[in-house]
Structure 1
């Protein structure tokens, strides 16, 4: 959803972790057969595929070429179209979507206000928009270790202008309200498990698109091993069972915007 190449590395592992949230998102949308559904930042197609299985006519919008291929290969005979696009530039007509969904994707949009305006443009007058975003907690702590080091290395510690707290119901209500939407929110739980802290590092961080994009900077600055050690120590201390299994209890916000 930003300048990160989400097709780099292996997003598939993370996508599998997020599948329960994708199912919750689609269920909350109360999709009816024949409705036009748009999945923004579709990734490997979790949301798009589940929605299509309900009889919806689905358009999966994904900027990463490799991930578009993954979705197309999984689509089979479903009524599912895969297109190139971003949250702030959807290749869709005004008022053409009954439902717009985004599972932990629009939260990476460089210009949140432009993305929300684009969602409002594409939604039908009675359309609904649903998205998920991480609440502060486990995921933020783990990602924060890497982000802090990257900010120190690049000198980009200041918050980007125009960014919003996607997990803040008031912020969402204010911004969607400018387009005539009312927002309701629910807090949901999502547990991520792996065989060990080392496995989590390799499969969810080092080979994640964000890791692929930032680790060369950390390695060049001589900070990568330090970040790895800090991350493994945090996971081992707080979220690893006596048997060595990692269990991360995360929470996220499910937001529904309707006119």
Structure 2
């Protein structure tokens, strides 16, 4: 599932969950007015819009045409281009800051993505990214991913790397002259109910749009949905029915 069409479904339902992390990411970047900031895998533009508000020259790189339109509706003076983490239509050394909020972690070829970030980064540039740490989200999404694995006969996440491990990031970035540091951050994903989480964060998410028809065809979708709702209700639902899922993440910075 690392080659999703992010324009499918309603990623707008998930994007607000990530806004607190986007704020942390932009703050950690210490952006100065006039710097060229590139938001890699911009989604709905959380990071790009925040950087533009700081007076940066912003380029939002996003492969999904529909999401590029969403960014342009944000009312900021920025540039939106079609591209991926491994292929950005930008000159060598043109970015003072490259930011990626839970986006580059979905790159099908991590080494190619890192090489492209390094190419676009200025000689004294900095790269900052966020990546989910192992935890509750793995438990919740694990039910779905395991079911898809059984249906298609292979793990759809196979071939990825642990983006949340600073040692892994160091191995990838050191050859390009970067030193990596990381900080653990806390985030809580809140929805009105377990049913709301399923419909908006799973069924309406690009991952769900890709996976759920396969499970329905295999006759296991109802079971996957039931087990997911039971898990969420039993562990992370308050007496009032509100869901609060703890979602810790790594905020990594790489500097030359």
TM-score, L = length of structure 1 = 0.97
Q: Which residue of 2 aligns with 1:30?
A: 30
Q: Which residue of 118, 121, 127 maps to 2:119?
A: 121
Q: Which residue of 1 aligns with 2:56?
A: 56
* CA distance in 1 between partners of 2:133 and 2:201 (Å): 18
Is the 2:38–2:59 contact (alpha carbons within 8 Å) kept by the matching residues of 1?
yes
Q: Which residue of 76, 82, 85 maps to 1:87?
A: 85
SS of corresponding position for 1:257: strand
* 1:97-131 residue CA offsets vs partner (Å, 9 max, x unmatched): 00000000000000000000000000001000000
* CA distance in 2 between partners of 1:40 and 1:6 (Å): 13
Cα distance, 1:249 vs structure 2: 1.1
Cα distance, 1:95 vs structure 2: 0.2
Cα distance, 1:3 vs structure 2: 2.7
Q: Does 1:146 align with 2:138?
A: no
SS of corresponding position for 2:73: helix
Cα distance, 1:88 vs structure 2: 0.3
Is the 2:3–2:107 contact (alpha carbons within 8 Å) kept by the matching residues of 1?
no
Is the 1:56–1:79 contact (alpha carbons within 8 Å) kept by the matching residues of 2?
no
Q: Which residue of 1 aligns with 2:70?
A: 70
Q: Does 1:167 align with 2:164?
A: yes
Cα distance, 1:159 vs structure 2: 5.8
SS of corresponding position for 1:178: helix
Q: Which residue of 2 aligns with 1:223?
A: 220
* CA distance in 1 between partners of 2:126 and 2:140 (Å): 32
Q: Which residue of 1 aligns with 2:209?
A: 212
* CA distance in 2 between partners of 1:80 and 1:86 (Å): 18
Q: Which residue of 2 aligns with 1:183?
A: 180
Is the 2:3–2:106 contact (alpha carbons within 8 Å) kept by the matching residues of 1?
no
When the two chains are superposed, the root-mean-square deviation of aligned CA atoms in Å is: 1.1
Cα distance, 1:160 vs structure 2: 2.9
* Structure 1: gaps of 5 or more residues: none
Q: Does 1:251 align with 2:248?
A: yes
Is the 2:95–2:121 contact (alpha carbons within 8 Å) kept by the matching residues of 1?
yes
* CA distance in 2 between partners of 1:93 and 1:84 (Å): 14
* CA distance in 1 between partners of 2:189 and 2:156 (Å): 30
* 1:155-201 residue CA offsets vs partner (Å, 9 max, x unmatched): 1138634x211011100011100111000000000011111100110
* CA distance in 1 between partners of 2:80 and 2:174 (Å): 30
* 1:198-239 residue CA offsets vs partner (Å, 9 max, x unmatched): 011001100111100111000000010010011001101110
Cα distance, 1:16 vs structure 2: 0.6
Q: Which residue of 1 aligns with 2:15?
A: 15
Q: Which residue of 2 aligns with 1:39?
A: 39
* Structure 2: gaps of 5 or more residues: none
* CA distance in 2 between partners of 1:244 and 1:70 (Å): 31
* CA distance in 2 between partners of 1:98 and 1:18 (Å): 23
* CA distance in 1 between partners of 2:92 and 2:190 (Å): 41
Moved more, 43-52 or 190-199: 190-199
